[in-house]
Amino acid sequence: MSNSESHPQKAKFSDMRFQVGQRVQLVLEGAGSHKQYTSVIGWVEAEFLMLRVPQEDGWIVHLREGMNVEVRLFSGLSIFTFKSRINTLLLNPRNYMLMSFPEDIFETPMRSHLRVRTNLPLEILNSDSTEHNLGNFHLHDISGGGASVVGPHQLGNVDSSVKMRLRFDLQSTGKSESVDMTGTIQNVELVHRANQPHTKPEYQHGIRFHEPDARVVLFVHELKQRAD
Beta strands in the chain (DSSP E): 9-11, 23-28, 35-44, 48-52, 55-56, 59-60, 68-75, 78-90, 96-100, 105-109, 116-117, 121-126, 137-142, 146-151, 161-170, 175-191, 202-209
The arithmetic mean of pLDDT across residues 50-74, rounded, is 90
The arithmetic mean of pLDDT across residues 159-188, rounded, is 93
Q: How far apart are CA 115 and CA 144, in angstroms?
A: 8
Residue 74 clears pLDDT 80, i.e. is over it: yes
pLDDT at 98: 96
Measure the CA dihedral 195/162/183/227, to 10°.
-30
Q: In angstroms, what CA-CA distances link 33 with 13, 29, 62, 70, 71?
A: 24, 6, 14, 10, 12
pLDDT at 111: 79
Indicate the pLDDT class of residue 76, thresholds 50, 70 and 90: confident
Task: List, for residues 195-215, the tens digit of each pLDDT value.
Answer: 666 778 899 999 999 998 989
pLDDT at 138: 94
pLDDT at 42: 96
Task: List, for residues 104-145, the tens digit of each pLDDT value.
Answer: 999 998 877 889 999 999 999 988 765 556 678 999 999 999
Q: Could you tell me if 142 and 215 are in contact, meaning their C-beta atoms sit under 8 angstroms apart?
A: no
Q: How far apart are CA 128 and CA 124, in angstroms?
A: 11
Closest listed residue to residue 154, CA positions, set 178, 181, 127, 121: 127
Least confident piece of the model among 52-56, 70-74, 112-116, 118-122:
112-116
pTM of the model: 0.74
Q: How far apart are CA 131 and CA 116, in angstroms?
A: 31
Q: How far apart are CA 1 and CA 7, in angstroms?
A: 9
Q: Could you tell me if 52 and 29 are in contact, meaning their C-beta atoms sit under 8 angstroms apart?
A: no
Domains and CATH numbers, the chain: 9-109 (2.30.110.10), 116-227 (2.40.10.220)
Task: Report angle CA 210, 212, 214 to the nearest 5 degrees.
Answer: 160
Contacts of 186 (CB under 8 A, 6+ apart): 146, 158, 205, 206, 207, 208
pLDDT at 33: 60
Q: Which is more confident, 128 or 4?
A: 128
Q: Could you tell me if 95 and 43 are in contact, meaning their C-beta atoms sit under 8 angstroms apart?
A: no
Residues above pLDDT 70, as percent of the chain: 91
Residue 171 clears pLDDT 50, i.e. is over it: yes
Mean residue pLDDT across the chain: 88
The arithmetic mean of pLDDT across residues 169-188, rounded, is 93
Residue 221, classed as helix, strand or coil, is: helix
Q: How far apart are CA 226 and CA 149, in angstroms?
A: 21
pLDDT at 20: 95
pLDDT at 113: 80
pLDDT at 3: 46
pLDDT at 210: 95
Q: Could you tell me if 216 and 116 are in contact, meaning their C-beta atoms sit under 8 angstroms apart?
A: no
